Structure 1
């Protein structure tokens, strides 16, 4: 059914789900072959331009080595990459860079003798990867900032709504819906700071030669060390980089890849935690995902409303979290100036790390803008546990009245456990706890009429104020730089 050349025939061959289902077209195209090879061509042009600007001469020391018409020919063919021709060359040479040198030369034959002059393959492969990583980090930061902005709005809206706090997934002191959102926000804010740092500090490999000694360029510039130093900086500037690795072998240190992937993996940790919390809250019916008119929760159980977006977020985040280990292992086993066992695996984990981060953030933004809070459900759940929630405040009031803290704690513990057992047996409710404590001598001095009339809002501490302070002092200042940098569209395909 079909032809042997049908590598792009829809539905026939395996397609990476990150591209097919989850990630944005913008990120998928950035890491696609056409973008990569067009970037290679720009790197060859920038190298030739820099060599010409620094006065590279022919062997006679007088004639310009690179002519203006040669540079013009390269500029004319930066984007018309013939992928089929390059694939044929690679089949012959078993070398992707040589294949594209020949393909570029075929398009601009008058410039063939200045292509890749003094360079090694990693001049184009490594520098291109760094360019793509920098652009991808910028997109990821924009997307993450949009998620943070949406969650900040959510936190502000629900900052005063009491809800059960949980430790060990057991009811603890009250918090508010908005304060809990700030816990998610803080993790994501830490991720944004780290990702921004990685983007800002990402260096360029530059023009370093075969083993990083710049020997070939020193020969071309007839022993002029300063011009070789300038060449390195000039090529980097043309690529938009202010930093160049100070030393390298044939490749830049693969530790740089590890640092970038660890930052992306850290984002995966935060999003997985948030997705898990949303799944737990969906089980309690307190906060839910949007559920579309024709959405199906289960092929068998028609009544189901599953948190499928949060589940997918956790699934993709788990994949993202595990990629840094491969980058770490690659960095650890690079022999001396380089070994090629980094090549194939980097073709997998570099693009997929950014595609997975992009996919996670698309899901996260979709969720953050559409979460459905059920205040009545939350209030009912609070009321069921409110007598337990009040006990710590009761203890503090009793201690202020002269009672022994440990004695008070033991009284509360015994009655709390006894009431809980009665509730489990269907013989009482949580209000019984307050009635029991009211009879205890250590609580006799309390104004029980006042305590009995307090609502849940009296036991949320400084949660609303903490939300305001956190957003004003930490979140909004960080988001200022993204006011004019909107994220890609967050609509989901599936």
Structure 2
């Protein structure tokens, strides 16, 4: 991932040096396991642990000749050792090291993403409670529907992100597996204890069955989950963008002193952070498709997945880390304009109360079709003439004669629509 969208803690996991460190740890832990079995002398393992190292330039130089990165790595490490070097890579195949180390790196990345997700959920929850009773217009098909609150909109985000957190935990568990089972997964030249030992030390689980590789359905599921989380963030960001339109201006991204919105138009205050979320989500969804195409490997292994994963796994985790951090700050610092929300509610001349008039007429004994056919023409007339809907209702004896003044007043009381807000907040755990 380019530096612009990389945060230091996550980016550090995916450096070449850290990758080689992870490979080296797998190699040394495997030797420790062999020592536990009595196959490698304890003294040799001690020397390996103390002295094994690598020079990255040397690895790259050897790879120029071998055209095999793991062979280049093991030879570069061996050059830093004495006679104990014979135990490096003992009984292992390349993917025993690469896949298990990759799972270890993903585990580190998951720890960061988990923290990010929990912080994001908490921030949304606090903002939802802050605006629990901030009344605004609910819109369906982009058109005024009925009153809601901004807090309810945020409570919806909160609940969705809780589901995403659950999905993430499951998907993260799915990629936190290791395998040291040899060339085709039969443990022909390695004891299953070695796999168990290495995985336990790395905080991984041994794959119950493998070929030369871990199966890539695990990684496809993981990438799909990251893509879904990114898409949820995009969904929320699109809402911010829509509500920040000049004609609406119910919310606005924080605009810092000295910030510029346009090189040409000094007045501009654009929702660039939320727009950025849409772009980043597109990238991660694209990587999801690549992960799915990595699943059908040939027989017990090919490396068609390898080149793709060198890009998509670091990039997707780095990108989602960036998205979560940036959009958390957008939500935390979001400017909300309650007065604009109320003003916008009044732009449709009371039409948002049409269902209340309809249902009240039904409650008074009118057949639904008859009531609907009375109310709709008044609503359409209000749309066309901009005459307040209530005025048209009051002036029509076919409607007004069936309703008392108190009933009519209740029809046009927006608080009626919000009487269950507390109940909804209790359901989602925000009481």
Pairwise mapping of residues 266-281 of structure 1 onto structure 2 (< 5 A)?
266-281=228-243
CA–CA distance in structure 2, aligned partners of residues 34 and 272 of structure 1: 33
The alpha carbon displacement at 1:104 in A equals 1.2
1:192 aligns to 2:169 (yes or no): no
**2:136 aligned counterpart, secondary structure:** strand
The residue number in structure 2 matching 1:308 is: 272
CA–CA distance in structure 2, aligned partners of residues 193 and 76 of structure 1: 41
The alpha carbon displacement at 1:112 in A equals 0.7
The residue number in structure 2 matching 1:463 is: 421
Pairwise mapping of residues 46-195 of structure 1 onto structure 2 (< 5 A)?
46-56=29-39, 66-77=40-51, 80-195=53-168
**2:138 aligned counterpart, secondary structure:** strand
CA–CA distance in structure 1, aligned partners of residues 408 and 46 of structure 2: 84
The residue number in structure 1 matching 2:326 is: 363
The residue number in structure 2 matching 1:378 is: 341
**2:244 aligned counterpart, secondary structure:** helix
1:318 aligns to 2:282 (yes or no): yes
CA–CA distance in structure 1, aligned partners of residues 423 and 212 of structure 2: 55
How many correspondences in the alignment?
427
Residue deviations 1:234-282 (CA, integer Å, cap 9, x gap):
22112112x3212111111111110110110110110111110110011
Bigger mean CA deviation after superposition, 232-241 or 369-378: 232-241
1:25 aligns to 2:5 (yes or no): no
Structure 1 segments, 4+ long, off by >4 Å, are none
User: Which one of 198, 209, 225 corresponds to residue 235 of structure 1?
Assistant: 198
Bigger mean CA deviation after superposition, 158-167 or 438-447: 438-447
For structure 1, list consecutive stretches of 5 or more residues without a partner in the other structure: 1-15, 57-65, 218-227, 474-494
For structure 2, list consecutive stretches of 5 or more residues without a partner in the other structure: none
Give the TM-score, by structure 2 length.
0.95
1:263 aligns to 2:212 (yes or no): no
The residue number in structure 1 matching 2:380 is: 417
CA–CA distance in structure 2, aligned partners of residues 143 and 462 of structure 1: 31
1:445 aligns to 2:428 (yes or no): no
Residue deviations 1:403-457 (CA, integer Å, cap 9, x gap):
111221222222111211123xxxx4xx2x1111122424423233564475433
Q: Any conservation in 2 of the 1:203–1:245 contact (CA below 8 Å)?
A: no
Distance 1:310 1:203, change over 3 A: closer
Distance 1:417 1:112, change over 3 A: same
Structure number with greater CO (CA < 8 Å, separation at least 6) is 1
**2:146 aligned counterpart, secondary structure:** strand
Residue deviations 1:175-208 (CA, integer Å, cap 9, x gap):
1000011222222111110001122343423210
1:436 aligns to 2:392 (yes or no): yes
Distance 1:440 1:84, change over 3 A: farther
Distance 1:92 1:383, change over 3 A: same
The alpha carbon displacement at 1:77 in A equals 4.2
CA–CA distance in structure 2, aligned partners of residues 302 and 463 of structure 1: 41
**1:445 aligned counterpart, secondary structure:** coil
